[in-house]
Amino acid sequence: MKKIIFALAFMLMGTFAFANISLTNYEFSTIDLCENEYYVYFEGELVAEWTEPAPLDDDMNCTGDARIFFLE
């Protein structure tokens, strides 16, 4: 019984973690996790943006992320 509860809890955590990844990348990326997206802001204004291919993890999943630089 304990094992089943642990397995269910583990699955649930996995679901949340996945949901979090999707949310994490929603606002700034095209949800194309195969690209890293870069944004540079200067005084609150977007001044440059570019993308680059994202590396794959051990399971061959894309690990794309959005990264924002603030020039102060």
Partner 1 sequence: MKHLFYIIFAVFVLNSSAQETTVVTKVDYSTYLNLGLPSEIDSELIFFKSQSIYSKGKSDISYPESATIEKIGNNKKASNIYYSDYTNKKGYTKKNIDGKTYLASEDMQKITWVIQPKKQKTIMGFVCEQAVGNFRGRKYTVWFTSEIPVPFGPWKLHGLPGLILEAKDNFNQVHFKAIKIEYTHLKDPEKKVEIPIAKYKDISLKDFLVLEEKSLKDKIARIMASKPRGSKINNFKYHKPKGLELKYEWEETKKQ
Judged by beta carbon, residue 9 or residue 49, the one nearer partner 1 is 49
Tokens (6 digits) for 19 = 């949901």
Residue 41 neighbours by CB distance under 10 Å: 15
Per-residue x/- track, 10-49, partner 1 (CB under 8 A): -------------xxxxxx------x--xxxxxxxxxxxx
CA 55 from centre of chain: 12
Least distance to partner 1 from the beta carbon of 54, Å?
11
65 is an interface residue for partner 1 by CB under 8 A: yes
Least distance to partner 1 from the beta carbon of 33, Å?
13
Residue 46: exposure state from Cβ atoms within 10 A (0-12, 13-18, ≥19): exposed
Q: Strands 45-53 and 66-71, how do they pair? A: unpaired
- Judged by the rule CB under 8 A, the positions of this chain that interact with partner 1 are 23-28, 35, 38-53, 65-72
